[in-house]
């Protein structure tokens, strides 16, 4: 066995080690697999009110009074003990320039979609979105959202002072170009709480994440 041969073997060993490390690191950084997608689909199709068979009912008649705003209970606080989140919830809408969800600028706060259902709505998806992080403020309230597992508990406080418990049933990741936002911003279907943040690969040029991470919870 020559010195040359030993050197070559060492190089091979180093090469194999480098490949292994790279492969392991790649696997570790891959998005965690979706869980509970079927449950979310089922919830979207649920009709909570008893529609029943439609026999020829008498035509409903009402006074044509001017509409007044419906009673809505906005969420004001969110606690997720499993990932150490205690955040203020702000009522937010749409960014008029982009047509996108107006996530609160402060990354330690999260935003509730005020056009969608509130906490007492009999149906539909209560949506709360928060930053995963920010280039200027660091980690956001939802930095660890992807660590949530089925069965984890959340607590949402409403403007009525009442705290409501939820249980995680699903965690899904979608490319932003493919996410079925209709389903997550639905005002019908089963009662649910939808938490959304960013995830997946980060494009340093556009400073945008490729994916959205979505966690769905139901009243516990």
Partner 1 sequence: MQLSYSRQVAAGGVLAALTFAGVGALTATPAYAATAEVSAIHGIPGIPVDVYLNGEKTLDNFAPGEVAGPLSLAAGVFDIALTKSGEPVADAFLTVDDAEVLGGTNISMAAHLDASGEPKITSFVNDISKVEAGKSRLIARHIAAAPAMDVRAGGTSVFTNLTNSNEAKADMEAGTIQADAVLAGTETVTIGPAELELSEGTATIVYAFGSADAGTLEVVAQTITGLHSPPAGVPSGDGGQAGTTANTWLYLLAGAGALLLVGGRARVATARRSNR
Q: To the nearest whole angstrom, how small is the minimum distance from the Cβ of residue 79 to partner 1?
A: 19
Q: To the nearest whole angstrom, how small is the minimum distance from the Cβ of residue 72 to partner 1?
A: 10
Residues 80-139 that bind partner 1 (CB under 8 A): 93-94, 96, 98-101, 103, 113, 115, 129-135, 137-139
Residues 132-191 that bind partner 1 (CB under 8 A): 132-135, 137-140, 142-143, 146, 176, 179, 181-182, 184-185, 187-188
DSSP 97-164: TT-SB---SSTTSEEEETTS--TT-SSSEEEEEE-SEETTTEE-TTTTGGG--TT-EEEEEETTS-EE
Residues 33-52 that bind partner 1 (CB under 8 A): none
Size of the site for partner 1 (CB under 8 A): 81
Residue choice 7, 48, 105, 151 for contact with partner 1 (CB under 8 A)? 7
The tokens describing 206, both together, are 């556009």
Residues 6+ apart with CB under 8 A from 115: 93, 94
Distance of alpha carbon 69 from alpha carbon 6, whole angstroms: 81
Q: To the nearest whole angstrom, how small is the minimum distance from the Cβ of residue 140 to partner 1?
A: 7
């Amino acid at each position: 066995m020559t010195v040359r041969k030993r050197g070559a073997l060492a190089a091979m060993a180093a090469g194999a080690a480098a490949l292994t490390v790279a492969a392991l690191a790649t696997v570790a950084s891959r998005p965690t697999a979706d869980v509970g997608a079927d449950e979310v689909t089922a919830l979207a199709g649920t009709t909570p009110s008893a529609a029943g068979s439609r026999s020829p009912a008498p035509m409903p008649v009402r006074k044509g009074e001017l509409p007044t705003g419906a009673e809505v209970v906005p969420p004001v606080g969110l606690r997720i003990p499993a990932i150490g989140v205690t955040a203020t919830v702000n009522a937010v809408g749409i960014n008029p320039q982009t047509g996108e969800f107006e996530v609160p600028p402060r990354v330690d706060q999260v935003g509730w979609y005020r056009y969608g259902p509130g906490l007492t709505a009999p149906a539909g998806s209560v949506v709360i979105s928060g930053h995963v992080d920010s280039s200027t403020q660091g980690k956001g309230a939802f930095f660890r959202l992807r660590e949530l597992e089925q069965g984890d508990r959340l607590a949402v406080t409403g403007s009525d002072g009442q705290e409501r418990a939820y249980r995680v049933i699903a965690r899904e990741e979608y490319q932003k170009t493919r996410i079925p936002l209709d389903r997550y911003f639905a005002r019908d279907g089963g009662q649910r709480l939808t938490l959304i943040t960013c995830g997946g690969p980060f494009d340093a040029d556009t400073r945008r994440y490729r994916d959205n991470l979505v966690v769905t919870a139901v009243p516990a």
